[in-house]
Structure 1
Amino acid sequence: MASAGYHQASVTLQPRCYFSSSCLNQQNGISSISLIPKGIKLDIALTRRGTYSSMERTIAVTQASASHSTVPDPVLSPSSGTSSEAKKKSNEAALILIRHGESMWNEKNLFTGCVDVPLTKKGVEEAIEAGKRISNIPVDMIYTSSLIRAQMTAMLAMTEHRRKKVPIILHDENEQARVWSQIFSEDTKKQCIPVVTAWQLNERMYGELQGLNKQETADRYGTEQVHVWRRSYDTPPPNGESLEMCAERAVAYFKEFIQPQLLSGKNVMIAAHGNSLRSIIMYLDKLTSQEVISLELSTGIPMLYIFKEGRFIRRGSPVAPTEAGVYAYTKSLAQYRQKLDEMFQS
């Protein structure tokens, strides 16, 4: 395992809750981010250095609950008020990472970055296939970037989940948006999964390359120069982000907002982008800056991690709903799948 390096990043967020009575009060502070270990394929994006301005974000947490159409999650889910560190560390939680399906600019071989481009028909199919692969894994919360291709991927994937819960995007643009999007039925809330969108999970900003054809850009600036812009760790394209900059924002957000959810026993799915996910995997697997630049992430292929006793264990990608191997790695996921099977066979 490679030794971890560290960077500093800070983010200030003040979450509010409006989705359910079970909410997390989280505030971001300065946090260090460790770089991730060897042995993974992914893509990385960089973000601007420095301190991000304060903002408000609504984060809601719904607890997995049983009804006539659902099954209880065997993964422990202590309440957010639990302070016992020993109890928290005894929990297991699933973390699913999915890179969005093929976008319309992927198809055209254009630099996309933070331009908000939707999925192609192939991308839609990839998202649905990703959903089939994770249809037996519990999902309590979903995080996506603010870009439509990631949000489409998350929504389409959840149409295949056997629990049939409905993903609901949380809106915190202003007070009116928060009020207007409230749900007043407790039973309905139990059948929903909160979806938090965050710009910190956006793709790497490619600056002046955005919208340019990749081959034409290589012809103009030279293949070597374009390779440096795309695959180096700390060299950004003109007026864009390096992978290092992207890692600073994405990992800081993960540590301050997503990791506490996992620690509380929530099962989380993240639908994002090649570079923001490479950055998070760099943290999860403790890869070095040299190891991470060689990572490649395929579109629409989910990766499963188990968060247990304060550490992340990578389990690879589920093959299909009928593949049992990946679920057998942990007792809780095996029990969850067994309960699903029993419910749908009855």
Structure 2
Amino acid sequence: MTSSGLHEFNGAFQLYNHPSDSNPLKASIMDHVAHNSHLSSDDSKMPSIETALILMRHGESMWNEKNLFTGSVDVPLTRRGVEEAVEAGKRISNIPIDVVYTSALIRAQMTAVLALTQHRCKKVPIIMHNRNKQAETWSQIYSDEAKKHSFPIIRAWQLNERMYGGLQGLNKQEIAERYGKEQVREWRRSYDIPPPEGESLQMCSERAVGYFKEHIEPQLQSGKHVMVAAHANSLRTIITYLEKLTSRELIGLELSTGVPLLYIYKEGMYMKRGSPIGPGEASVYALTRNLALYRQKLDEMSS
């Protein structure tokens, strides 16, 4: 056993819980992550008592940088957004993932792919082309081994950002000057009032949460670990569903770009397991100090 809280098992280093980890909630999470992070694809299909759900807003987009309303416009990431996605991937690199969902927009897809390249299982992110028969046929994988070592990425327009209609592409400061800050705030933060030719938060919620219930939740119930890379508003509505928040609480939610959130699904309930550690710590999604040390030790061994 090493001083950093690791022990060797079947040739691989596994997490070891220090007695000092007095928080039983954190200890159970660490056990869960350590146990599942080395599962094969076949193992991960077995029914699981607990399954992981990772939610991640895309990294900074080129219109985020310019302070423009983006909505459903398909804008890519900035250099900073790319860096955020890579860093997010490091923070979730020990969390088991079986299937990935993204919106139909490139900034969410870029974030998912870049984050997954950092995962310790070294699987290949593969975007599924299943929206028409020819694309599905042409992109079919004929090797079971290749399938086993891939992350399937499923795109869904229902996870897209809220459609801001006539505000899309406009500078937020200019809109505030033209319509008044209160009117803009009402469009952005009210639950059921849409901007001109756009969606209200309620409309966004109906499609995003509806898709989550119909397609993503059954995956969790079947024992699959799921990652969702999407947008501020579509994710806020999903979080509202997971945590049983009110529409007023939904309006107050804020999500930073490129920051993953972890939930554990168990017996029909979603338990939030925290956010990434501070920038002064090891670059890993560490729910305990031991998990950060574990990642550091592996990196030292491979260097």
State TM-score, norm by structure 1. 0.70
1:13-32 matched pairs, under 5 angstroms: none
Which residue of 1 is the match for residue 69 of structure 2?
Answer: 111
The whole-number CA distance in structure 2 between the counterparts of 1:258 and 1:218 is 37
TM-aligned CA distance change 1:152 to 1:111, over 3 Å: same
The whole-number CA distance in structure 2 between the counterparts of 1:97 and 1:203 is 14
TM-aligned CA distance change 1:321 to 1:306, over 3 Å: farther
Alignment check: 8 A CA contact 2:90 2:284 kept: no
TM-superposed CA distance for 1:72, in Å, is 1.7
1:175-214 matched pairs, under 5 angstroms: 175-214=133-172
Alignment check: 8 A CA contact 2:91 2:286 kept: no
Which of residues 153, 176, 182 in structure 2 aligns to 1:218?
176
TM-aligned CA distance change 1:225 to 1:75, over 3 Å: farther
The whole-number CA distance in structure 1 between the counterparts of 2:149 and 2:135 is 21
Quick check: 1:245 aligned with 2:206?
A: no
The whole-number CA distance in structure 2 between the counterparts of 1:74 and 1:151 is 22
Structure 2: runs of 5 or more not aligned = 1-36
Structure 1: runs of 5 or more not aligned = 1-69, 80-87, 329-333
| DSSP-derived class of the 1:316 partner | coil
The whole-number CA distance in structure 1 between the counterparts of 2:58 and 2:161 is 10
Which runs of at least 4 in structure 1 moved beyond 2 Å after TM superposition? 73-79, 318-328, 341-346
Which residue type is aligned with residue 161 of structure 1?
A: H
% of aligned pairs identical? 66
Which residue of 2 is the match for residue 156 of structure 1?
Answer: 114
The whole-number CA distance in structure 2 between the counterparts of 1:275 and 1:251 is 11
The whole-number CA distance in structure 2 between the counterparts of 1:289 and 1:75 is 40
Alignment check: 8 A CA contact 1:134 1:321 kept: no
| DSSP-derived class of the 1:97 partner | strand
Q: How many positions carry a matched residue from both structures?
A: 261
The whole-number CA distance in structure 2 between the counterparts of 1:180 and 1:267 is 27
TM-superposed CA distance for 1:177, in Å, is 0.7
1:1-346 matched pairs, under 5 angstroms: 71-72=38-39, 77-78=44-45, 91-319=49-277, 320=282, 324-325=286-287
Which residue of 1 is the match for residue 11 of structure 2?
Answer: none
The whole-number CA distance in structure 2 between the counterparts of 1:71 and 1:325 is 18
Q: CA RMSD in A?
A: 2.6
TM-superposed CA distance for 1:105, in Å, is 0.5
The whole-number CA distance in structure 2 between the counterparts of 1:120 and 1:250 is 25
TM-superposed CA distance for 1:327, in Å, is 9.5
Which residue type is aligned with residue 72 of structure 1?
A: L
Alignment check: 8 A CA contact 2:57 2:230 kept: yes
Query: Could you give the per-residue CA deviations for residues 205-232 of structure 1, whole angstroms, max 9, x where no partner exists?
Result: 0000001100000000001000000111
The whole-number CA distance in structure 2 between the counterparts of 1:147 and 1:227 is 25
The whole-number CA distance in structure 1 between the counterparts of 2:120 and 2:84 is 18
TM-superposed CA distance for 1:128, in Å, is 0.6
TM-superposed CA distance for 1:173, in Å, is 3.1
